[in-house]
Amino acid sequence: MWHSLAIIGVIAVCTIITRAVPFLIFGGKKEVPTAVHYLGKVLPPAIMAMLVVYCLKGISFLQGSRWIPEILAIMLVIVLHLWKKNTLLSIGAGTICYMILVQFVF
Amino acid sequence: MKQKNINEIRFAFIQSMPVMLGYLFLGMAFGLMLQDAGYRFWWAFLSSVVIYAGSMQFVLVTLLSSGAGLLYCALMTLFINGRHIFYGLSFLEKFRTMGRAYPYMVFSLTDETYSVLCSLKCPPGMNEKKISFLISLFDQIYWITGSVLGAIAGQLLSFNTRGIDFSMTALFVVIVLNQWMDSKEHRPAIIGFLTGIAALLMLGADNFLLPALAVTVAVLLGLRSVLDKKTVLDKKPVLDKKPILQKKEEHTEKDEVKEV
């Protein structure tokens, strides 16, 4: 339990750091470097795409059918989102579909 | 309470409504996941009060249940929440002038609050600083409420929550799709995705994320002359990141103006 509290504490402090950094560094009249602007533009999509890989890190294509629910549910999320563009609908339907697949089908 | 106060609170509430739906829902998914991992509702409450970062809290569940090392947690947080650095740049001037609310405004600048504050247009006669503060506060209250409700629901109703963790995958897929549709430049997302897969195959599931993030930053900086046509020329911040609730933020500002 103490380790869990420590993890939450560390993450809380580091989150505050990431939010306070621009105010601490650029709060005066210093010019924001163009490299920072550039990273601000290209880094978020790159990190989010990598987090999708992070979510799927546990699946193995070599082990039987364990990867099928993931792939099917992700396809549902993509199709639903391109069609309806409703964030909550895509996440909700995708999650329910995945839960049904892992609990009753595979 | 004075009529002006009531109007301001109501205006802030209406501005925050799209976030309310999203945060209650995602917060519940987070609370359920945390409960599913063996952490009761007060853990959800604690982390939503002191951390208050949506995607990071989903990752938190996996860090908690695997008993991850503290240095690893710190580096993960700095990378995943590193994007917040770029949100703050838009509000350097504004937050500074907000007095006692300044530290809270900095603390509570999530993706969704950022998107609402960016598009905020206050009717004349209302105190914009106060409304900004109220929106930030309401948003966090929704997030806390959702996560506690989710954890309690998971505790009381003993339905089979196996697979609930897919909500994290779905969330990130949707964020990627939103960014993909909002921007013509898809190479950063492709670079991040491929680097992630390459690192996963080479380093394995437990160790790949931090090296992959570091390599991605290096590659993106290396490709700056190719990918960066605009920002070198423009001096102004160019923030393309469209938070996930962007689509729903066209409210009835005009109607509110009439009532004041």
Q: Which domain holds residue B93?
A: 3-164+243-259
Judge if B136 and B8 occupy the same domain: yes
Pick from B20, B77, B94, B234 the residue to mutate for testing the A interface (most A CBs within 10 Å): B77
Q: What is the pLDDT of residues A76-86, one digit of tens each?
A: 999 999 999 88
Judge if B228 and B250 occupy the same domain: no
Q: State the pLDDT confidence band at A33, using cuts at 50, 70 and 90.
A: confident
Judge if B201 and B216 occupy the same domain: yes
Q: What is the pLDDT of residues B110-139, one digit of tens each?
A: 888 887 887 788 888 889 999 999 999 999
Residue B140 pLDDT > 70, yes or no? yes
Q: What's the pLDDT at B196?
A: 94
* Positive/negative CA dihedral, B28, B137, B18, B80: negative
Are A69 and A98 contacting, i.e. CB atoms less than 8 angstroms apart?
A: yes
Percent pLDDT > 70 in chain B is: 87
Tell me the longest C-alpha to C-alpha distance in chain B: 63
Alpha helices in chain B (DSSP H): 3-36, 41-50, 54-66, 70-80, 84-88, 92-96, 102-107, 111-118, 128-156, 166-182, 187-203, 209-222, 224-227, 253-259
Judge if B96 and B49 occupy the same domain: yes
Q: What's the pLDDT at B251?
A: 44
Lowest mean pLDDT among B4-8, B181-185, B200-204, B236-240: B236-240
A-proximal residues of B, 141-170, CB under 8 Å: 160-164, 166-170
A-proximal residues of B, 24-63, CB under 8 Å: 25-26, 29, 39, 43, 46-47, 50-53, 55-56, 59-60, 63
Judge if B198 and B76 occupy the same domain: no
The residue type found at B161 is T
Q: Does residue B172 lie in a domain region? A: no
Q: Does residue B178 lie in a domain region? A: no
Judge if B223 and B252 occupy the same domain: no
Are B76 and A38 contacting, i.e. CB atoms less than 8 angstroms apart?
A: no
Burial B215-227 (b: 16+ CB within 10 A, else e): bbbebbeeeeeeb
Judge if B199 and B96 occupy the same domain: no
- Which residue matches tokens 């929440």? B81
Residue B246 pLDDT > 70, yes or no? no
Total domain count for chain B?
2
Q: Does residue B76 lie in a domain region? A: yes
CB–CB of B179 and A101 under 8 A?
Answer: no
Give CA angle at B71 (B66, B72), nearest 5°. 45
Kindly report the nearest CA distance between residue A76 and chain B, in angstroms. Answer: 10
Judge if B155 and B196 occupy the same domain: no
Judge if B58 and B160 occupy the same domain: yes
Q: State the pLDDT confidence band at A30, using cuts at 50, 70 and 90.
A: low
Percent pLDDT > 90 in chain B is: 42
Q: Does residue B16 lie in a domain region? A: yes
Lowest mean pLDDT among B1-5, B7-11, B68-72: B1-5
- Candidate from A10, A47, A69 with C-beta closest to B70: A10
For residues A4 and A26, the model is more confident at: A4
For residues A61 and B235, the model is more confident at: A61
Q: What is the pLDDT of residues A39-53, one digit of tens each?
A: 878 888 888 898 889
- Candidate from A10, A15, A103 with C-beta closest to B53: A15
Judge if B147 and B159 occupy the same domain: yes
Distance of alpha carbon B228 from alpha carbon B179, whole angstroms: 17
Q: Does residue B171 lie in a domain region? A: no
Lowest mean pLDDT among A11-20, B168-177, B246-255: B246-255
Q: Does residue B179 lie in a domain region? A: no
Query: Average pLDDT, whole number, for chain A?
Result: 87
Residue B100 pLDDT > 60, yes or no? yes
Q: Does residue B203 lie in a domain region? A: yes
Residue A29 pLDDT > 70, yes or no? no
Residue B236 pLDDT > 70, yes or no? no
What's the complex ipTM? 0.87
Query: Average pLDDT, whole number, for chain B?
Result: 83
Q: What's the pLDDT at A64?
A: 67
Of the segments A27-31, A88-92, B86-90, which one has the largest average pLDDT value? A88-92
Kindly report the nearest CA distance between residue A65 and chain B, in angstroms. Answer: 15
Judge if B106 and B119 occupy the same domain: yes
Around Cβ B72, how many Cβ atoms within 10 Å? 17
Are A8 and B53 contacting, i.e. CB atoms less than 8 angstroms apart?
A: no
Q: Does residue B175 lie in a domain region? A: no
Q: What's the pLDDT at B1?
A: 63
Judge if B41 and B155 occupy the same domain: yes
For residues B12 and A43, the model is more confident at: B12
Q: What is the pLDDT of residues B193-220, one digit of tens each?
A: 999 999 999 998 877 888 888 899 899 9
- Which residue matches tokens 């013509």? B184
Q: What's the pLDDT at A76?
A: 96
Residue B99 pLDDT > 80, yes or no? yes
